Structure 1
Amino acid sequence: MFSASLHGIKTSLQPLALALSLGIPFPTLAAATPSPEQPTAIVQPASAVATYQPPDVLLGPLFNDVQRAKLFPDQKTFADAVPNQDPAVILAAYTRQKSSPGFDLQRFVERHFTLPQEGEAYIPPAGQTLRQHIDGLWRVLTRTTRQVKAYDSLLPLPHSYVVPGGRFREIYYWDSYFTMLGLAESDNWELVQNMTDNFAYEIDRYGHIPNGNRTYYLSRSQPPFFSFMVELLAQHQGEKTYARYLPQLKKEYHYWMRGSVGLPTGQASDRVVRLDDGSVLNRYWDERNTPRTESYLEDITTAAQASGRPATEVYRDLRAGAASGWDFSSRWLRDPHDLSTIHTTDIIPVDLNSLLFHLELTLARGAKAAGNQTEAAYFLRVADERKLAVNRYLWNQQDGYYSDYDWRRKAITQPITAAAVFPLYVGIAPRDRAAASGEAVRRQLLKEGGLTTTPLNTGQQWDAPNGWAPLQWVAVEGFNRYGQEALAQAIGTRFLDNVQKLYDAKHKLVEKYVVEGAGFGSGGGGGEYALQDGFGWTNGVTLKLMARYCTAVPACQRDAEPATAR
């Protein structure tokens, strides 16, 4: 992925001194006196977040009462409803009227809010191949929201973008990269450019890329794939692309590394953790410690079941789990069958730190493209430091795979998850560890329909028996990078077969798939909401896998009927 010439850059300066001399706006310019976390305290969100208050804050007791009354099957419905006038006026009216005889909460909501409309079901033309179906979906899933209504929780974006589909009516950060892979495969580079520019706009406006373009998502981000988006564009437009997006890449890095300077060993602040040897690695975090707006009642219920834990601590960990993109998984739970034992903020995730390694290398490449060799050297140095720390702390020597690390307990977490492939995806793994990882994945995660997310069937959607398109792609790319082509092809073609099987039966793509057992070839279950159709990242990954493997699979080439990859 990266030019070997970058690694020829040398510097004798220590990272802190070098960054200060360059005026680089990231960890070295963060507050000199960090604020280690206070897990049980009510902490005010950052100023950028506080400017755009979410509906649960604006509507206070009204929001609470509506969600507790379960007026809508999906809690996200009211979170996305648009007030017809100033929320303060609506709240005052509610306070006056709610105790009146015959007051009807449902009618009050319908009078004062515009509820989100259900999208029309897309019925594909008869006889479409899977490829034709996906190409036709891009138009269906594309949105433009340069302007939004007053008091809407939706945040405007300057350019068009693709939404995942179903209940997900907004753009999502990490989903979008895998969607963009498919757009590029469809030669829709204008939309790839638009989406990259939207994310650059969000970084400039909010200081980071939020989970999604909603006010209630501003308090957290998602797995940092912006550097991969820039890399994708650069493959089409050339090396100058890295320099063009260098300011936004730096700002995103600052967001993830804020609080690292002066942080004592064994302490955490926001998204950073300083380990016993002085290494700094990252975790997921959310600025708020209240129930998630879009899953309000579910979070209250979960916190009520948490024995001996302050509710605010549980809320923070639920929110951090949502920031991970894996909401939810036994990966974040002390008891894999009890969501109330979630402790996401105690965990240093292997995928997050692999992605930040890629961001550091991309920053080095951007600095080099901009002609700043010294700055490029700095970023290569911190990338090397992260690589060493990942291989020290996030490698399970006994079982031979990469894993997360519980920084409070100072222990590797169990069991293996599909996140174990991320160090291979970005090139952190030495070859012997990549080989061991391949054996572990083949033995524990590879199923008849692709890669399962974890070996545990817990009822959470990011566990067995579900497989997710982005993890299939990361695994395929990672194992190919290390010469394990047979394993990569097994993962890719089995998942293609899974997608095709469901498409043949129901003529749609979905967000997740059952990859093993009797449910193979059907949509996955579990989690907080019904299975969603669409589906952006499945469409994108499917196109990439078809482009890679269908030349060797004649059935993929059929034009008249939906094809089957085998």
Structure 2
Amino acid sequence: MAALKVIVASICFQGILAQSSSETTVSTAVPSPSAALDSPLPSQVPDPPTQAWCPSEIFCAGPLLQTVNVAALYSDPKTFVDKPTNKPAEDVLFDFENLTSGNVTEGQIVDFVDADFRGEGLELEALTLDNFNEDPPFLANVSDSLLRAWAQTVHGYWTQLIRTTNSSVLCSGTACESSLIPLNHTFVVPGGRFREQYYWDSFWIVEGLLESQLYDIVNDTLQNFMDELDTIGFIPNGGRIYYLNRSQPPLFIQMLFRYITVTNDTSILTRALPLAEKELDWWQENRTVNVTSPSTNKVHEMARYAVNNTAPRPESYLTDYLTANGPDVSPPLNESQRSSLYAELASGAETGWDYTSRWFSNPAAGNSDLKQLNVRNTIPVDLNSILYRNHIIMEQLYSDNETAAMKHHDKATSVREGILDLSWNSTKMGFYDFNIASGTQNHVFSAASYYPVWSGITPVEILRSAEDAFKYFAPLNLVLKRYNGTFPSTFLDTSLQWDFPNTWAPHQYIILQALRALPSHIADVTLFALSSNQSSFNLLPADQLGISESQLPSQTLLSGVNATNLGHQADINTLNGTVLNGGNTTIYEGWSQTLQRELANRYFASAFCSWHATGGEIPGILPRLSDAELNVTQSVNNTGNMFEKFSSLDIDSAGRGGEYTVQAGFGWTNGVVLWIASVYGDILATPNCPALLANTA
């Protein structure tokens, strides 16, 4: 392991500020209730049942958590549950009981939290890495000098996201209480409010760490997950006790395989294989149901997301509370309905896609009503594809154990048959989630459609010809021809963060990997459709997207002082070069290589341009934008943001919507940047970023 040096010398125990000698700063959010301090607290519905899986009377469902949240002290409910106490738990509970024995005001709750809690995240320490290689070999793959320098800058961001548990102030015993799940090894946080280790984020973080040759940090990450499997029995959503009722897309086995493939460190398997089995058993026992196919009448064992939960999520308590009990809920929900909704909200969080119309009983553009969540009745094509790939990997890892290998081979075969039977639509040439309640495929087309081919499940219809394979990827071609950004989660604009126009780094990686998985005799063919003036919508199989062309969201472009709505039919051949950043055509390029080149360049453009538009600079290479330009993005005091999500429409900005403010940091965004730099570096071209002042002149 590389030597690690703690750079946080001290913690301010009054919970005001913890600051390191580096740029990493942990600060306490200032309470800012919307009501006056002398105002009484709003009335509350009865406390929900205590949750057996959540062991705290402070940070889990109960009177204290509900009262503090109803006071609405912070814009993000996660702030409070990330604050360790500064006294024993029984003293905090005693203070709360005394406080609530009579009428309570907003100001009294503010005083209580200030007196009894420290700053959020103070249980964690930032670290520096000794012997950090500032010039890793993958940078040599990037031909463009500006993008090489920028990739090097992103590589350097790992030093700002490394954390360890702060053992000197870690709450244990009766000293104090914290929601943190202590970890024994170093880890990388996503960034922003996500100040602890997260499960599926770590897959793409690991991809970037491997390119950066930070193999010891990858090993530490895997060891942390194995510790959780050993002690908890599964890998929770994130490193807090309020995540102990749910997991996330199960990518541990794939992280393990990537680590072994790159480092050849097979010694880790002695511990890892039994624990990998334990995780698969957990998903089999807790998240698997029998589903009868309406077309073949076969019964398939398929996985779903289904969390046992009858209370608001602690980290989103007020959000869930208002979803179930807000003034717009009419008629009011009864206790059974509230409990069911809370289970759906937690299940939606377990998917990683929290939230999207993909999970709705009646999905439609403009519909963001979370009371329509139908997650537990959904058989997600991406989850089952991940599990299929896990079993394939386990089969390979058991090369010296024929019995164990055959067990995973048979399970993979079974899951593959279920995915093809329930989710593949050979007419639409796409994969769709299956609905248990209706016994039919859902009609929402999403980025999840590309998980099966990435995982190694390629239907025979895709393999018939290049033309048929292209039909499967025709939605990607449409995005690259009609929008300035990358591939959205869905094509429904609902204001939910996993719907249009938001695009996410993991999906771009999955799609690129799916394209790379095609056999050469399919992928290397030159298709006339890509270079002709045919409508990109007309190239889609009928009803593939589930919406008409007129229902497609519109790309708005800036020209001079006017914003022009280009409408739904504005393909790139009619836009006079205003949809940009596809890179430069290479000789003898097959259609798959064309789409990969365009998507890889578009992802780099989205990450780079939004970073530059928020204050990013590279001394001596890329000057900082003017204050007038940075005022447009409210970034005069910023030094460049790596956002958690982007926009299909505007590559100068982050995505939008969701339960919390768009976060910057950001682990999986950085990881995919470095992976693309390594794999596609020779075809990346300097991005053309839209002028920030074009709309304000």
2:681 and 2:125 mapped to 1: Cα distance?
Answer: 32
Aligned residue among 523, 539, 563 for 2:654: 523
Q: Is the 8 A contact 2:310 2:343 kept in 1?
A: yes
How do 1:1-40 residues align onto structure 2 when only pairs under 5 Å count? Answer: none
Kindly indicate whether the alpha-carbon contact (under 8 Å) linking 2:479 and 2:487 is maintained by their aligned counterparts in 1. no
Mapping for residues 226-241 of structure 1, pairs under 5 Å: 226-238=252-264, 240=266
| Secondary structure of 1:275's aligned partner | strand
Paired position in structure 2 for 1:452: 488
Contact 1:449-1:494 within 8 A present in 2 as well: yes
Instruction: Answer yes or no: is 1:173 the counterpart of 2:204.
Output: no
Which has the higher mean CA deviation after the structures are superposed, 306-315 or 519-528? 306-315
Shift of 1:425: 0.7
Matches within 5 A, 1:54-65: 55-57=58-60, 60-65=62-67
More helix as a share of residues: 1
Aligned partner letter, 1:185: E
**Which has the bigger relative contact order, CA under 8 A and spacing at least 6?**
1
Report the alpha carbon displacement of residue 445 of structure 1 after superposing the two structures with TM: 8.1
Q: Does 1:319 align with 2:332?
A: no
2:401 matched to which residue of 1?
Answer: 372
Take 1:68 and 1:294, find their aligned partners in 2: how far apart are those partners? Answer: 13
Partner secondary structure for residue 193 of structure 1: helix
Identify the match of residue 238 of structure 2 among 192, 205, 212.
212
Q: Paired residue for 1:541, among 672, 677, 681?
A: 672
Distance 1:303 1:500, change over 3 A: same
Equivalent residue in structure 2 for 1:111, among 90, 115, 124: 115
- Higher mean C-alpha displacement, 487-496 vs 412-421: 487-496
Within the candidate set 78, 81, 90, 1:79 is matched to 81
In structure 1, distance between residues paired with 2:279 and 2:237 = 13
Tell me: CA distance 1:176–1:544, structure 2 relative to 1, closer, same or farther (3 Å). same
Work out the number of aligned pairs and report it: 491
Q: CA deviation at 1:344?
A: 0.6
2:442 corresponds to 1:426: no
Decide whether aligned partners of structure 1 residues 53 and 414 sit closer, same or farther in structure 2, where only a CA change above 3 A counts: farther
Judged with a 3 Å threshold, the aligned counterparts in structure 2 of structure 1 residues 377 and 132 are, in CA distance, closer, same or farther, namely same
Following superposition, the deviation at residue 504 of structure 1 comes to: 2.0
1:289 aligns with 2:310: yes
**Alignment-derived partner of residue 602 in structure 2:** 494
Q: Is the 8 A contact 2:433 2:441 kept in 1?
A: yes
Q: Secondary structure at the match of 1:463?
A: coil
1:96 to 95, 98, 106: 98
Q: Which amino acid aligns with 1:138?
A: W
Q: Secondary structure at the match of 1:391?
A: helix
Identity %: 33
- State the 1:503 CA deviation: 1.9
Query: Structure 2 vs 1, CA of residues 120 and 171 (structure 1 numbering), >3 Å: closer, same or farther?
Result: closer
Are the structure 2 counterparts of residues 390 and 554 from structure 1 closer, same or farther at C-alpha, using a change threshold of 3 Å? closer
Q: For 1:146 and 1:198, how far apart are their aligned partners in 2?
A: 15
* Contact 1:451 1:515 (C-alpha < 8 Å) held by counterparts: yes
Query: How much has 1:243 moved relative to structure 2?
Result: 3.6
Contact 2:515 2:596 in 1 (8 A): yes
How far has the Cα of 1:117 moved from its partner? Answer: 6.0
How much is the aligned-residue C-alpha RMSD, in angstroms?
A: 2.5
Letter in 2 for 1:457: D
Which SS does the other structure have where 2:250 is aligned? coil
When structure 1 is superposed on structure 2, of 488-497 and 168-177 the one drifting more is 488-497
**Partner in structure 1 of residue 187 of structure 2:** 161
Q: What residue in structure 1 maps to residue 394 of structure 2? A: 363
Contact residue 391 and residue 408 of structure 2 kept, 8 A: yes
- SS of residue in 2 equivalent to 1:57: coil
State the distance in 2 between where 1:256 and 1:547 align. 34
1-side partners of 2:601 and 2:652: how far apart? Answer: 13
Secondary structure at 1:432 match in 2: coil
> Partner residue of 2:428?
399
Residue 96 of structure 1 deviates from its aligned partner by 1.9
1:124 maps to none
Is contact 1:43–1:288 with CA below 8 Å preserved after alignment? no
1:520, 1:88 → 2: CA distance?
Answer: 50
- 1:462 equivalent in alignment to 2:498: yes
Q: Distance in 2 between matches of 1:196 and 1:421?
A: 26
What is the one-letter code of the residue matched to 1:549? Y
Distance 1:423 1:114 in 2: 45
For the 8 Å contact 1:274–1:281, the answer to whether it is kept is yes
Q: 1:156 to 1:432 in 2, by over 3 A?
A: same
What's the CA shift for 1:395?
1.3
**Partner Cα distance (1:314, 1:134) in 2:** 40
Question: What per-residue deviation string (whole Å, max 9, x for no partner) do you get for residues 243-294 of structure 1?
Answer: 4321111000011000xxxxxxxxxxx4112012221000012232211001
Q: Counterpart in 1 of 2:290?
A: 274
User: What is the TM-score normalised by the length of structure 1?
Assistant: 0.82
Q: 1:511 aligns with which of 644, 653, 659?
A: 644
Tell me by how many angstroms 1:383 deviates.
0.3
> What is the alpha-carbon distance in structure 2 between the residues aligned to residue 229 and residue 55 of structure 1?
34
The answer to whether the 8 A contact 1:242-1:365 is kept is no
Q: Deviations over 1:227-255 (max 9, x none)?
A: 11111111123383574321111000011
Gapped runs of 5+ residues in structure 1?
1-41, 122-126, 259-269, 557-566
SS of aligned partner of 1:526 = coil
Q: Are the equivalent residues in 1 in contact too, given 2:155–2:674 (CA < 8 A)?
A: no
Paired amino acid for 1:424: V
Residue 495 of structure 1, CA deviation: 1.2
* Residue in 1 that maps onto 2:324: 303
2:299 is paired with a residue whose SS is coil
Relative to structure 1, the CA distance from residue 64 to residue 195 in structure 2 (aligned partners, 3 Å threshold; closer, same or farther) is: same
Offset of 1:43 from its aligned partner? 9.4
SS across alignment from 2:613: helix
Q: Distance in 2 between matches of 1:271 and 1:485?
A: 38
Match of 1:345 in 2: 376
Higher Cα Rg: structure 1 or 2?
Answer: 2
Measure how far apart 1:552 and its partner are: 2.2
Aligned twin of 1:481? 517
Note if 1:142 corresponds to 2:162: yes
Classify the secondary structure of the residue corresponding to 1:200. Answer: helix
TM-score in terms of structure 2 length? 0.67
Deviation of 1:494 after TM superposition, in Å, equals 0.9
Shift of 1:192: 0.9
Cα distance in structure 1, aligned partners of 2:657 and 2:182: 31
